[in-house]
Amino acid sequence: MIRRAVYPGSFDPVTNGHIDIIKRAANQFDEVIVGVLVNSAKSPLFSSIERVNILKEVLKDMPSVRVESFDGLSVNFVRECKAAAIIRGLRATTDFEYELQMAQMNRVLDEGIDTVFFITNLQYAYLSSSIVKEVAKHGGDISKLVPPPVERALIMKYKEIANGQQN
């Protein structure tokens, strides 16, 4: 039986911290599906198509990993993928309460699906998509925080926004 897991998230945009989790999950499961939530409550900077395309580019050398978008409940998407595990990363105790609540709720919604947590590498413990966007917005160096396609996409996006505001 193929052991398949889904890593759901906003990925707005994907960071080196996410990629580390994806690589480690790919070592533990036969297949990992990265699920990009379309209608995130967080009003994303990148459209779901942009987020999916960036992830596909960044993960193109990982044959057991694929990228798809989804809407609605994560557990429904996990079931559609015929997977039995949800992957999530845990950076610090501050993540724990929200992640625990979500994992418990997902178990109530479908007790056949388990959440598997990977503890973020110490070198990425401070990293989040929000903090990367904040640094990029103000022209800071993000080359160590995200892969090159994400860096390029962020620089272009904030240029577009700045140009739009001038017109």
In contact, 145 and 127? CB cutoff 8 Å: yes
Token pair in block for residue 165: 């505001």
Tokens 């759901």 sit at which residue?
8
Q: Which stretch binds ligand PNS (CB under 6 A): 6-14, 26-34, 46-54, 149-157?
A: 6-14
Is 120 one of the binding residues for ligand PNS (CB under 6 A)?
no
Tokens 């610090």 sit at which residue?
92
From the CB of 159, what's the least distance to ligand PNS, in Å? 25
Token pair in block for residue 29: 């499961």
Q: Which of residues 128-167 bind ligand PNS (CB under 6 A)?
A: none
Token pair in block for residue 91: 């950076």
For the CA atoms of the chain, what is the radius of gyration? 16
Is 10 one of the binding residues for ligand PNS (CB under 6 A)?
yes
39/123 with CB nearer ligand PNS:
39
Pairing of strands 4-9, 65-70: unpaired
Token pair in block for residue 137: 């917005």
- Please identify which residue in 6, 21, 33, 37 interacts with ligand PNS, judged by CB under 6 A: 37
Is 102 one of the binding residues for ligand PNS (CB under 6 A)?
yes
Active-site residues, by number, are 18, 42, 91, 129
Site residues, ligand PNS (CB under 6 A):
8-10, 37, 40, 73-74, 102, 105-106
